[in-house]
Amino acid sequence: MLLTPPYAVFIGDATDPLGLKMACSIAYWRPELCVGEIALPSCSTTVGLPKVSLEEAVNQGAKSFVLGFNNAGGHIDEKYLPEIKAAVAAGLDIINGLHDKLTDIPELVNLAEQYGVRLIDIRHPTTRFKTGNGQKRSGKRLLTVGTDCSVGKMYSTLAIHKEMQEQGMSATFRATGQCGILVAGEGVAVDCVVADFISGSVEQLTPDNNAEHWDVIEGQGSLFQPAYAGVTIGLIHGAQPDALVICHTLRREFMRGMPGYRLPSIDETLTVNLLHARRTNPECKVVGICVNTSAVDEQTALETCQMIAIETGLPCVDPLRHGVSKIVANL
């Protein structure tokens, strides 16, 4: 699925950016693709884009209307239907990263047909995938893996991709989740692929390429996550990574949503991920560690990263605080 920028980013009546993962991702990583944010009068937050009306967005060339929010259940809130319908009627594609599908709402389907626009449910792949074949592909691949979900894999992957581009390397960011897909404009929501086709979908997402080209692949889940490890191992096998980057977050004792399940150590994470990665790429190496240090102050963050670097012999950074140049230099 290929998305069409520029985007009008709809943030509804949000009062807190925490519920605006989609909007925050595109506003942070691709502000140049956004004409602005559209908010309801009761909205009391911002993702940092200019506030615009639907009409202004259209006049400034917006081609797609992005539903900027996420919620636990993945539901499309019916209260937003009037704004969505108005965007359809204004000729914009609608981009939805929630579990619920726009295409399950008949009146929207009819309206979209009438106005010739697309309802794009990016969590629901429309491609027919093949099962994995494990055959070696040309080009290089880097994959982020984590001690847990939500430890900064997307951020780290995008930071590494940006650093590579700034250094003049040939690199493509490969998105595997809804926010990444919005940022990249294309990709596969790997957690929504049928189980038999997980690694196959990743093989298709990261095809043969020039010998010096890097696919920089967004990781998902964790091999240690009792809910989502299937997604992770399929990603690892399908990616055939040459390089792994371990992502971790400080001060998280238990796995997200899994009381009683302790986070694995970085060392354990490194060993087990490498074990599986070497199944499809025997040359795979871990090239660095990204730590989300937001729970501690600058000085502690720096000391912690230095300590991990000494213990593991690998560059260790907080991508947000320290950048990722040390990791890219280690490729």
Name the residues that contact a second copy, by CB under 8 A.
131-135, 190-196, 198-200, 223-224, 226-231, 233-234, 237-238, 255, 257-258, 260-261, 272, 275-276, 279-280
Q: How far apart are CA 261 and CA 263, in angstroms?
A: 7
Q: How far apart are CA 47 and CA 146, in angstroms?
A: 27
Residue 73, amino acid: G
Question: Toward a second copy, which CB reaches closer, 157 or 232?
Answer: 232
Question: Toward a second copy, which CB reaches closer, 82 or 134?
Answer: 134
234: phi then psi, degrees, rounded to nearest 5? -65, -40
Question: Toward a second copy, which CB reaches closer, 115 or 261?
Answer: 261
Residue 127, amino acid: T
Question: Minimum distance from CB of 175 to a second copy (Å)?
Answer: 15
Tell me the sheet residues that pair with 214. Answer: 140, 171
Question: Minimum distance from CB of 193 to a second copy (Å)?
Answer: 5
Question: Minimum distance from CB of 197 to a second copy (Å)?
Answer: 9
Question: Minimum distance from CB of 196 to a second copy (Å)?
Answer: 4
Question: Toward a second copy, which CB reaches closer, 48 or 257?
Answer: 257
Long-range (24+ apart) CB contacts under 8 A made by 224-227 are: 224/147, 224/148, 224/255, 224/261, 224/263, 224/264, 224/268, 224/269, 224/272, 225/148, 225/149, 225/255, 225/256, 225/258, 226/255, 226/258, 226/261, 227/257, 227/258
Question: Toward a second copy, which CB reaches closer, 195 or 211?
Answer: 195
Q: Are 23 and 68 in contact (CB under 8 A)?
A: yes
First to last CA, the chain: 31
Question: Minimum distance from CB of 13 to a second copy (Å)?
Answer: 28
Question: Toward a second copy, which CB reaches closer, 204 or 330?
Answer: 204
Question: Minimum distance from CB of 227 to a second copy (Å)?
Answer: 4
